[in-house]
């Protein structure tokens, strides 16, 4: 379980997070939603130690993340950010191999190679494993980065807008993979996501942030209701149900 306790963060005068506390359940998919500037990405960055908080603690399996050695933490928790500009001459397989760095520090063992092979198969990248990253499309790139995270084999996987710049087909592909990682491998997925319908379809829990605080935290079922969403986003929502799934219409 990831326990966020009284996390505060501000940039100069501007308060981004104001004593935020929330417990993210293990083995589930949790989405962070909220309008721009609500502090979703900042919260994710603090949980993954990319950014220092001004106050408060983050506990991973009841232990402060600052008490973990950074290399050991990298074996328990991984983070994939939205922008991954790469102009290195790097093949897909080489990128995925980096996922094993926390374990082998650059010298791959046969066990590592196996993990890499499995991750490549998991994301269906066999055909392009030898291609250079800069020759790939956006969707393929995102899958390659996800394969790297899969090879890293951490219990907790954090993602910052994993669907950014992807078309519908690739977005669905990525979300299905994340769902599979949770259901089959018992991974805990925490992601920042903008598309409310993707959050509704694929997550177990939803955290809604508003005005630097957690406004709502509940099962997806109970957050995706007009009254709640209207409060979070300050706009009209209509929710239709088809085949037992809720779809938000806010256009």
**Under the rule (CB under 8 A), what is the footprint of another protein?**
48-50, 52, 69-75, 78-81, 84-90, 94, 98-99, 101-102, 105-107, 152
Residue 115 burial (CB < 10 Å; 0-12/13-18/19+)?
buried
- Closer CB to another protein, 157 or 248, in the complex: 157
d(CA 44, CA 193): 11
- Closer CB to another protein, 15 or 239, in the complex: 15
Task: Answer yes or no: are the C-beta atoms of 139 and 167 closer than 8 Å.
Answer: yes
Question: Which residue has 């760095």 as its token pair?
Answer: 101
**Closest CB 189 distance from another protein, rounded Å:** 15
- Closer CB to another protein, 14 or 107, in the complex: 107
Residue 243 burial (CB < 10 Å; 0-12/13-18/19+)?
exposed
**Closest CB 90 distance from another protein, rounded Å:** 5
Alpha-carbon distances of 180 from 27, 125, 164, 174, 184, rounded to whole Å: 11, 16, 20, 10, 6
- Closer CB to another protein, 35 or 104, in the complex: 104
**Closest CB 247 distance from another protein, rounded Å:** 34
**Closest CB 8 distance from another protein, rounded Å:** 15
Task: Answer yes or no: are the C-beta atoms of 144 and 96 closer than 8 Å.
Answer: yes
**Closest CB 106 distance from another protein, rounded Å:** 4
- Closer CB to another protein, 3 or 94, in the complex: 94
- Closer CB to another protein, 49 or 141, in the complex: 49
**Closest CB 233 distance from another protein, rounded Å:** 28
């Amino acid at each position: 379980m990831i326990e966020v306790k009284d996390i505060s963060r501000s940039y100069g005068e501007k308060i981004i997070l104001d004593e935020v506390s929330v417990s993210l359940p293990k083995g589930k998919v949790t989405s962070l939603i909220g309008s721009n500037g609500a502090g979703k990405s900042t919260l994710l960055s603090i949980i993954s130690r990319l950014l220092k908080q001004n106050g408060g603690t983050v506990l991973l399996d009841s232990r402060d993340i600052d008490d973990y050695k950074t290399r050991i933490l990298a074996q328990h928790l991984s983070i994939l950010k939205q922008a991954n500009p790469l102009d290195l001459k790097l093949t897909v397989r080489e990128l995925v191999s980096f996922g094993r760095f926390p374990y082998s520090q650059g010298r791959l063992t046969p066990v590592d190679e196996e993990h890499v092979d499995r991750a490549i198969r998991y994301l269906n990248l066999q055909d392009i494993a030898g291609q250079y990253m800069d020759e790939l499309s956006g969707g393929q790139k995102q899958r390659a980065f996800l394969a790297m995270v899969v090879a890293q084999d951490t219990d907790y996987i954090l993602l910052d807008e994993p669907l950014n710049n992807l078309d519908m087909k690739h977005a669905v592909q990525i979300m299905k993979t994340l769902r599979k990682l949770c259901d089959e491998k018992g991974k805990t997925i925490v992601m920042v996501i903008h598309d409310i319908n993707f959050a509704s379809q694929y997550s177990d829990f939803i955290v809604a942030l508003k005005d630097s605080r957690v406004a709502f935290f509940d099962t997806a079922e109970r957050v995706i209701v007009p009254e709640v969403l209207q409060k979070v986003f300050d706009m009209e929502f209509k929710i239709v149900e088809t085949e037992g799934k809720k779809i938000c219409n806010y256009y």
